[in-house]
Amino acid sequence: MDEQEEPLAAARGCINAVPLALVAWAVLGLITWGGNNMDKDASALAAQVALNRTFNRLNDVLEEEGVRLVAGYGIPVLVLGNTEELRWIEGVRTRAYAQDKPPLDWDDFLARQCDTDKAKGHDYNFSFMSALVKWGPTIWEWESTKKLNRIRTWITKGELRVKGDGIVNAVGDLFNYTVMYHAWIEATALHKDPLKADNPANFYRVASLYKPADWIRHLEDDDLIGAAEHQLKQVIYTFMAGEGAAYR
């Protein structure tokens, strides 16, 4: 090799060495950090597959019911037929926990609450009626408002932290308090002893005087429920009249 060719050869050696260095760096990079990225990609892919599977199951259920899921100003809307619509954020979930299953119907609910009244009368020695005799409507408003606020929390936040005391309990207690309150009003108006009116037979008689919608209207008339609290009324109605029953 003559003197003129030596610089050219050196330059070619440098040029050829650059790609080899880059390849070596890339390979080392894959070994050191590429594995983590691949794990992340695999995890993300698995999550996407799981979500897509859930999406398909949801659509299968909607198709079986003849319901379409469409977008309405960015908010999903469930459409049944041509006119019935329900915005996703307005839906009321009625099975947050295993114990929160609505009754079969109004008769089923009434039977349960009569059993509960009898059991609590035994356990608490008819303390709520005694409190009504002592403090009047204030105690009913206090206890009922606590139960209503619990249902409102479930609607707005989607969960209740005290898992053993769900919507079934809240609606049931609200109903029983209200039935006993009406039994107290009746006995007082007739100048009878309210404590003698607190018995299973009279509880059933008063409880069955009205239907679920009537009991809800009583709560609204006494300003415990606002006229615009449609979701609250629907939840209470569902857990009194049974799943699928619509409040009117």
Do 28 and 108 reside in the same domain of the chain?
A: no
Provide φ and ψ at 165, rounded to 5°.
-130, 85
Looking at 13, 45, 60, the residue that finishes a domain is: 60
pTM score above 0.85:
no
Nearest in space to 248 (alpha carbons), one of 217, 209, 210, 218: 217
pLDDT bracket for residue 20 (50, 70, 90): very low
| Residue type at position 128 | F
Between 67 and 192, whose confidence is greater?
A: 192
Evaluate whether residue 220 is within a structural domain.
Answer: yes
Give me the domain span that covers residue 30.
5-60
Residue 59 CA to residue 64 CA, distance in Å, equals 9
Specify the residue for token string 């003849």: 66
> Which parts of the chain are beta strand (E)?
67-72, 75-80, 84-87
Residue 117 lies in a domain: yes
Among 96-100, 190-194, 201-205, the range scoring the smallest mean pLDDT is 96-100
**205 is a domain residue:** yes
- Other CB atoms within a 10 A radius of the CB of residue 89 amount to 8
Calpha distance 196→90 (Å, rounded): 44
Per residue in 31-65, pLDDT tens? 445 556 667 677 888 888 888 888 888 888 888 88
Q: Which residues pair with 69 in a beta bridge?
A: 78
Instruction: Give every CB contact of residue 168 below 8 A, 6+ residues apart in sequence.
Output: 99, 100, 101, 102, 239
Same domain, 194 and 103: yes
DSSP-assigned letter for residue 133: H
Number of independent structural domains in the chain: 2
